Amino acid sequence: ILRLPKYYEVEKQMNARALELLSVFGLEKDAESTLASNLPYGQQRKLEIARALATNPKLLLLDEPAAGMNPNETQELMDTIKYIQKNFDMTILLIEHDMKLVAGICEKLTVLNFGRILTQGDTKTVLANPEVIKAYLGDD
């Protein structure tokens, strides 16, 4: 394989972008010395999101990103998603059961119950909906 000057230029740009994203997620200090599989769980999730962002998507799908995280990791994740909302030009589709996370970052919600749309609208209205409360918190 010939490695022409354009190859090195593109490689340099890709490395700079990767380091920029690692920095956004607070992972730059581990970039050269730690395997992704050796990172703590919360940092592995951040790295997964950073890898997705490296492709410059128009839509970022986050499926249960807080699953298995402790409250501190979940708060860091919330801060990270808020940063993405503010600084990246993309739509974020979040599938999540952690209502604190949902309430903290979502502008609009669609709530499903057994695969059917229960309600949709702005976050505050949807989370106050009696049907949503009944479906997700029970009758009591």
pTM score: 0.80
Q: Specify the pLDDT at position 87.
A: 93
Q: Could you tell me if 28 and 19 are in contact, meaning their C-beta atoms sit under 8 angstroms apart?
A: yes
Contacts of 133 (CB under 8 A, 6+ apart): none
- Residues 38-77 pLDDT 10s: 988 888 888 999 999 999 999 999 999 999 999 999 999 9
Helix (H, G, I), strand (E, B) or coil at 92: strand
Query: Which residues in the chain come in under a pLDDT of 70?
Result: 1, 140
In DSSP notation, 49-65 reads HHHHHTT--SEEEEEST
Amino acid at 66: A
Domains assigned to the chain:
5-106 (3.40.50.300), 107-140 (no CATH)
Q: How far apart are CA 102 and CA 110, in angstroms?
A: 11
